[in-house]
């Protein structure tokens, strides 16, 4: 690569021009200047190949049935959160089609008016039972679930104590409250944060069960202990752990064998469960509070009934120990160990999200583009999504990818990484377990 990329990734270009973190500067621009700046940023990024996003997926089906042998034209999607390949599961598809034929493709209304079908209520009961909570409420995305919950529950008199790497929907949901951040997965830093939070009566500690970029797990046992000792409630976002972690995919708390659960659990229905939507589970009073006050729930159209039905089917399959859970974990172990043995750093990942840590942004972009040209889709993640000098390739594993394809991908990663000087070791033959 002869281009200097450095800080010219699309995201850093966007931040430079828009100064999104400094609202005063952005506020000084006229509407026309803002719109023109956006057009210029997108144009520069596209012309220079810095825009690695919104790539059309038609040719990147996870189950590419025509090409099972990992030939050079092999198309492999390692950038999807469809961890269990449930978007292609024949039994789930069948239920979805049946419900579309019966009830149509949309719900037609917000849940409080005519947008609640029997299947929505069944889904809420199933989600509560599956996650082990009293009650649950379904939203039309994981984002609106987190955002709505937090904007309803927290006021300017309360405090949120947040891991620095929680999802954007959580940060946005804390817009009306006081925030104290602690260093990522660092319980000593949490202790300090909670001391600072002592002046507030209501304290809520918020973490992700599995972090969406590095795939690492929150130290929930220790966090629960700190919460209890300091009279703080705890919320965990299980978006990347439901369906993946613990017994039958019941999430991080199940994986860590936590008996006394955290107070509130939330998640997305758009990842391992293969649909769209989000949920909050917790005590029934909390769910009542959201029904009464939560604006992103009250004023937004409910998920289509067919989507509620497919999620119900996904939960049934998980309860009965669907084979895709063990297929997924077999793929995770094989891929992660192979990456490590070729000399790549996969951080502290212990989930379906496997990062390849590459601090050099130019080489990271080079590797992502080389892989893309060979039919392999991975995500390139840069600052400010991750801290500076901690850029990474985010690989999300799926049960639907055959081992031969993984071997093909590993061989390409190995040879391209060597060309770019990212690893030095002699090539090793990748063999499926």
Residues classed as catalytic: 212, 240, 271
| DSSP structure class, residue 249 | G
Residue identified by tokens 């996870």 is: 62
66 phi/psi in degrees, rounded to 5: -80, -10
Give the nearer residue to ligand PLP in terms of CB position, either 227 or 270. Answer: 270
Closest listed residue to residue 160, CA positions, set 194, 208, 191, 192: 194
Q: Does 142 bind ligand PLP (CB under 6 A)?
A: yes
Handedness of CA 118, 124, 125, 126 (dihedral sign): positive
C-beta of 385: minimal distance to ligand PLP in Å?
11
- Among 124, 163, 237, 402, the residue binding ligand PLP under the rule CB under 6 A is 237
From 20-28, 111-119, 136-144, 220-228, span contacting ligand PLP (CB under 6 A): 136-144
Report how many residues bind ligand PLP under the rule CB under 6 A.
14
From 26-34, 130-138, 237-245, 253-261, span contacting ligand PLP (CB under 6 A): 237-245
CA 422 to chain centre: 27
C-beta of 428: minimal distance to ligand PLP in Å?
33
C-beta of 65: minimal distance to ligand PLP in Å?
27
C-alpha angle 181/352/398, rounded to 5°? 145
Q: Give the Cα separation of 382 and 390 in Å (integer).
A: 7
Q: Does 143 bind ligand PLP (CB under 6 A)?
A: yes
C-beta of 167: minimal distance to ligand PLP in Å?
4
Give the nearer residue to ligand PLP in terms of CB position, either 262 or 430. Answer: 262
Tell me the per-residue interface mask from 256 to 275 with ligand PLP, x by CB under 6 A, - otherwise.
------------x-x-----
Give the nearer residue to ligand PLP in terms of CB position, either 216 or 237. Answer: 237
From 104-112, 124-132, 139-147, 374-382, span contacting ligand PLP (CB under 6 A): 139-147
From 129-137, 140-148, 286-294, 362-370, span contacting ligand PLP (CB under 6 A): 140-148
Helix/strand/coil for 365: helix
C-beta of 395: minimal distance to ligand PLP in Å?
15
Largest CA distance in the chain: 64
Q: Give the Cα separation of 277 and 345 in Å (integer).
A: 33
Q: Does 322 bind ligand PLP (CB under 6 A)?
A: no
Q: Give the Cα separation of 242 and 342 in Å (integer).
A: 30
C-beta of 213: minimal distance to ligand PLP in Å?
9
Q: Which alpha helices (H) appear in 78-135, and where do they start and end?
A: 90-103, 118-131
Give the nearer residue to ligand PLP in terms of CB position, either 17 or 383. Answer: 383
DSSP 147-180: HHHHHHH--TTSEEEEETT--HHHHHHTTTSEEE
Using CB under 6 A as the binding rule, the residues of this chain from 159 to 198 that contact ligand PLP are: 167, 169
Give the nearer residue to ligand PLP in terms of CB position, either 209 or 375. Answer: 209
Label residues 342-380 b or e (16+ Cβ within 10 Å = b).
Answer: bebebbebbbbbbbbbbebbbbbbbbbebbbebbbbbbb
Contact residues toward ligand PLP (CB under 6 A) are 141-143, 146, 167, 169, 208, 212, 237, 239-240, 268, 270, 278
């Amino acid at each position: 690569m002869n281009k200097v990329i450095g800080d010219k990734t699309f995201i850093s270009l966007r931040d430079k021009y828009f100064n999104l973190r400094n609202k005063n500067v952005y506020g000084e621009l006229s509407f026309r200047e803002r719109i023109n700046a956006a057009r210029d940023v997108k144009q520069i990024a596209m012309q220079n190949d810095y825009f690695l996003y919104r790539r059309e997926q038609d040719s990147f089906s996870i189950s590419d049935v025509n090409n099972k042998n990992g030939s050079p034209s092999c198309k492999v999607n390692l950038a999807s959160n469809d961890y269990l390949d449930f978007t292609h599961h024949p039994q789930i598809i069948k239920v979805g089609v049946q419900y579309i034929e019966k009830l149509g493709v949309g719900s037609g209304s917000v849940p409080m008016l005519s947008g609640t079908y029997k299947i929505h209520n069944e889904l809420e009961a199933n989600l509560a039972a599956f996650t082990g909570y009293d009650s649950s409420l379904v939203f039309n995305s994981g984002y609106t679930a987190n955002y709505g919950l937090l904007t309803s529950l927290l006021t300017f008199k309360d405090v949120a104590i947040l891991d620095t790497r929680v999802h954007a929907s959580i940060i946005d949901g804390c817009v009306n409250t006081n925030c104290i951040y602690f260093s990522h997965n660092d319980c000593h830093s949490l202790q300090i944060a909670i001391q600072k939070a002592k002046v507030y009566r209501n304290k809520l500690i918020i973490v992700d069960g599995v972090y969406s970029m590095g795939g690492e797990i929150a130290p929930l046992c220790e966090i629960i202990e700190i919460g209890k000792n300091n009279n703080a409630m705890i919320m965990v976002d299980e978006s990347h752990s439901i369906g993946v972690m613990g017994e039958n995919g019941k999430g991080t708390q199940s994986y860590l064998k936590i008996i006394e659960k955290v107070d509130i659990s939330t998640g997305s229905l758009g990842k391992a469960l293969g649909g769209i939507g989000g949920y909050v589970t917790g005590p029934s009073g909390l769910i009542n509070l959201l029904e009464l006050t939560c604006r992103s729930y009250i004023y937004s159209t409910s998920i289509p009934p067919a989507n509620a039905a497919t999620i119900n089917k996904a939960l049934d399959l998980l309860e009965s120990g669907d084979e895709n859970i063990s297929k997924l974990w077999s793929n995770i172990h094989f891929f992660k160990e192979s990456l490590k043995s070729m000399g790549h750093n996969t951080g502290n990942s212990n989930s379906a999200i496997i990062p390849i840590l590459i601090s050099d942004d130019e080489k990271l972009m080079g590797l992502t583009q080389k892989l893309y040209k060979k039919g392999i889709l991975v995500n390139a993640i840069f600052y400010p999504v991750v801290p500076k000098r901690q850029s990474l390739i985010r690989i999300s594993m799926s049960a639907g990818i055959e081992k031969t394809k993984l071997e093909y991908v590993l061989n390409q990663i190995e040879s391209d990484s060597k060309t770019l000087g990212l690893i030095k070791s002699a090539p090793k033959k990748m063999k499926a377990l």
